[in-house]
Amino acid sequence: DVKVTQSSRYLVKRTGEKVFLECVQDMDHENMFWYRQDPGLGLRLIYFSYDVKMKEKGDIPEGYSVSREKKERFSLILESASTNQTSMYLCASTSGGFDEQYFGPGTRLTVT
């Protein structure tokens, strides 16, 4: 079974803090993705990566950055957390493009 794990289920941070969300997959997938999910807005793509040290902007990259130093690990970084970044963050991975994405359980981030 493909397994995608995220470092925390719940996280509370203060405005202005630098926040790291970690995602690890164990199936040697090439592609990894970060989404945020908000009520009424669905999932929105923040960043994705097709390969190690490679990244592509999604639809809402502002205020975020990513790091992929190893194939199995994809990190989302909030450089200076703001209250409008309070959300559920979901990581996913695939072996081919956007097809058949395997999602982690999500991290619910609250910024106060």
Interaction site with another protein (CB under 8 A): 4, 35, 40-45, 48, 56, 58-59, 90, 92, 97-106
Q: Which is nearer to another protein, 44 or 71 (CB)?
A: 44
Q: Closest approach of Cβ 80 to another protein, in Å?
A: 26
Q: Closest approach of Cβ 105 to another protein, in Å?
A: 5
For residues 32 and 12, give the distance between their C-alpha atoms in angstroms, rounded to a whole number. Answer: 24
For residues 4 and 97, give the distance between their C-alpha atoms in angstroms, rounded to a whole number. Answer: 17
* Other CB atoms within 10 A of residue 71 CB: 15
Q: Which is nearer to another protein, 18 or 27 (CB)?
A: 27
For residues 45 and 54, give the distance between their C-alpha atoms in angstroms, rounded to a whole number. Answer: 16
